[in-house]
């Protein structure tokens, strides 16, 4: 079945994810993370060929990242080991509701992703190129990102603002280059206001940003209240799922990876947004951003009345 973003069979689809890979540190506990890695991980887990472009340090933490990626069949070919910069660690603080805030130390390995021809060839060949705003905070990685954007066929921008590590003007410039923009409701209102929107509703501001950036595909996540997917003039809604939140780290990344997967392999936008919201909710019920989730488990979460036989693919 042809998807919305590509008409290729799933085993021929290629996706490049560019940006940070790091350790999320919860006190003494550490978990593998970074939004582009989480998106890449989920895409691979769902059966698509996704490759991460990033950098780790030549240190034990970097070696552990590469080992975990290889164990889980996530391609490390374009994850460079930097000779002088350390592997990134991020201090994560969880609120009583499970929402996360982050302290992201600067001048780490992924701030210094150096461009090479292999990266350019990979991105040029890929069906989709996924990137976020955080990797643009430092000169070296920002220059590499801007060069790779010139090679990409279809650009998916995960806005993912992390104060104070972004420049709103640059963020809007990347939005104008993107073919698909994903952001949360807080980011939507903040950016729309900065762009001069006179509107108050989510849909009005979404339409305003679509018009200002000339973007056909947009998605806004609303935490426990689900998400809105806009394709052209059409809106597709999921109002969320009732769950017991453990932590929200990586839930939005898993949502995006799952949404990209669905839009690549099938042609029903409502199915795509329902599936992606289910994955985000299931991740929020686990510790860590990359729990193992089967297609059957996800489909039964969306519709518990399905029999196991009907839910298999």
d(CA 279, CA 301): 9
Residues 20 and 135: their CA atoms lie apart, in Å, by 6
- Those residues whose C-beta lies under 8 Å from the C-beta of residue 12, and which sit 6 or more positions away, are none
Q: In whole angstroms, what separates CA 278 from the centre of its chain?
A: 15
**Cβ neighbours, 10 Å, residue 47:** 14
Q: How far apart are CA 156 and CA 4, in angstroms?
A: 14
pLDDT in tens, 150-165: 999 999 999 999 989 9
DSSP tally for the chain: helices H, then strands E: 11, 13
Strand ordering across the sheet containing 22-26: 29-33, 22-26, 88-94, 100-104
Structure tokens at 15: 């996706």
Distance, in Å, from the CA atom of 112 to the CA atom of 108, rounded to the nearest integer, reads 7
Question: End-to-end alpha-carbon separation of the chain, Å?
Answer: 13
How many angstroms separate the CA atoms of 2 and 265, rounded? 6
Spacing of C-alpha 34 from chain mean position: 9
pLDDT of residue 92: 80
- Structure tokens given for 221: 């996540």
- Angstrom distance (rounded) from CA 61 to CA 205: 42
Q: How far apart are CA 312 and CA 41, in angstroms?
A: 22
Domain annotation for the chain: domains and CATH numbers? 15-305 (3.40.1190.20)
Instruction: List strand residue ranges (DSSP E) for the chain, in order.
Output: 14-18, 22-26, 29-33, 49-57, 79-82, 88-94, 100-104, 128-132, 155-158, 180-184, 217-221, 227-231, 234-238
pLDDT tens digits, 112-151: 999 999 999 999 999 999 999 999 999 999 999 999 999 9
Tokens in use for 301? 């979460």
Smallest CA-to-CA distance from 223 within 134, 124, 313, 97 is with: 97
pLDDT confidence of 313, banded at 50, 70, 90?
very low
- Rounded Cα distance between 151 and 70, Å, is 27
pLDDT tens digits for range 164-215: 999 999 999 999 999 999 999 999 999 999 999 999 999 999 999 999 999 9
In the block, tokens 């104060």 appear at: 163
Q: What is the dihedral of CA 268, 270, 276, 279, to 10 degrees?
A: -110
Predicted confidence at residue 275, as pLDDT, reads: 97
Helix (H) or strand (E) holding 35: helix 35-45
Cα-based distances in Å from 285 to 38, 206, 226, 278, 296: 16, 29, 15, 11, 17
pTM of the shown model: 0.94
Six-digit token pair at 23? 């350790």
Q: What mean pLDDT do residues 235-262 have? A: 94
Residue 311: its pLDDT value, please?
Answer: 45
């Amino acid at each position: 079945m042809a998807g919305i973003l590509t008409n290729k069979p799933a085993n021929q689809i290629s996706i490049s994810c560019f940006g940070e890979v790091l350790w999320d540190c919860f006190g003494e506990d550490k978990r593998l993370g970074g939004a582009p890695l989480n998106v890449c991980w989920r895409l691979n887990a769902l059966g698509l060929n996704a490759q991460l472009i990033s950098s780790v340090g030549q240190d034990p933490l970097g070696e552990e990242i590469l080992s975990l990626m290889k164990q889980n069949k996530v391609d490390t070919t374009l994850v460079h080991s930097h000779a002088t910069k350390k592997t990134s660690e991020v201090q994560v603080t969880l609120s009583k509701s499970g929402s996360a805030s982050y302290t992201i130390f600067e001048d780490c390995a992924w701030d210094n992703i150096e461009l090479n021809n292999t990266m350019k060839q990979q991105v040029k060949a890929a069906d989709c190129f996924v990137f976020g705003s955080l990797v643009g905070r430092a000169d070296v990685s920002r220059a590499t990102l801007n060069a790779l954007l010139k090679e990409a066929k279809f650009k998916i921008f995960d806005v993912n603002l992390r104060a104070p590590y972004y420049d709103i003007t640059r963020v809007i410039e990347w939005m104008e280059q993107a073919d698909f923009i994903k952001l949360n409701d807080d980011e939507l209102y903040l950016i729309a206001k900065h762009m001069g929107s006179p509107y108050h509703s989510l849909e009005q501001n979404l339409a305003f940003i679509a018009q200002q950036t000339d973007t056909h595909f947009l998605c806004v996540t609303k935490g426990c209240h689900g998400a809105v997917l806009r394709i052209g003039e059409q809106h597709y809604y999921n109002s969320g799922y009732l769950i017991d939140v453990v932590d929200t780290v990586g839930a939005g990344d898993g949502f995006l990876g799952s949404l990209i997967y669905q839009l690549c392999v099938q042609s029903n936008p409502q199915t795509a947004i329902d599936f992606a919201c289910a994955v985000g909710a299931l991740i929020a019920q686990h510790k860590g951003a990359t729990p193992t989730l089967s297609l059957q488990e996800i489909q039964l979460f969306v519709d518990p009345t399905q029999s196991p036989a009907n839910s298999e693919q």
